[in-house]
Amino acid sequence: MSLATHELRKAFGGVTALDGATVDFHPGKVNALIGPNGSGKTTYFNCVTGMIKPDSGRVTYKDRDLTGKAPHRIARAGLGRTFQLCRTFPRMTALENVLAAVPHGGLRSFRTRSDIERAMSWLTRLGIEHLARSEARDMSWGQQKLLELAGVLMAEPETVLLDEPAGGVNPALLDRIGTLIRELNAEGRTFVIVEHNMDLVMSISDHIVVFDRGRPIAEGPPSVIRSDERVLGAYLGV
């Protein structure tokens, strides 16, 4: 009943980004996907969420084959996703950005009291309710990261994929993000996180998968990954 891939492959010209990636993430847990730059992590996320189509292999979620499906269909299956570079609507307010995640009709059709209250509750949960009427382009990078996550959560996904949530974020905001992930996980959401900040990864993850050259080379809890010689060699360079 988890997010999994079997022999996933993707090449760009002569460069192999994914080379038979078989992974099974743990449902109900905080999973991390780590590895050196160029190891295929973001390509993996893009294949899983329908942003690009894999050359071969399968993507399954809760025993349903999602391979090559359109992003909106994958989202409706219960998978939400953020990006390395925030994808917000810069000239829309924070509240409008979150409302845009409601998967029915055009923006005007969302503006029911219940939708607005739910959107405001997510902005409040993430600590940016005071920016509800501010345009996204006027927000800091860290605030836009929180806004993008609020939009993802507005769609009520069961599994959330976060692509470098700590990138460019100040330490205080990073602590908030880490705490929020653990709280949302305790409430029943599964997380898969691509991240380079090892302090964050080791502090919040239950299960870690390590990529190198487009395929997993190790997996396990933080205590195991810290001392795995393959990880030390491929990722930590020792």
pLDDT tens-digit profile of 129-152? 999 999 999 999 889 999 999 999
86 secondary structure, DSSP code: -
Q: How far apart are CA 222 and CA 236, in angstroms?
A: 14
Which pTM was predicted? 0.91
Query: Quick one: what percent of the chain has pLDDT higher than 90?
Result: 66
Q: For residue range 112-134, what is the model confidence (pLDDT) as tens digits?
A: 788 899 999 999 999 999 999 99
What H or E segment, with its residue span, contains residue 42? Answer: helix 41-48
Q: How far apart are CA 182 and CA 185, in angstroms?
A: 5
Kindly give the residue spans of alpha helices, DSSP state H, lying in 63-157: 71-76, 94-99, 107-110, 113-125, 141-154
Q: How far apart are CA 235 and CA 238, in angstroms?
A: 8
What average pLDDT does range 77-93 have in this prediction? 90
Query: Domains along the chain?
Result: 1-78+158-237 (3.40.50.300), 88-156 (no CATH)
Higher pLDDT, 194 or 233: 194
Query: Quick one: what percent of the chain has pLDDT higher than 70?
Result: 93
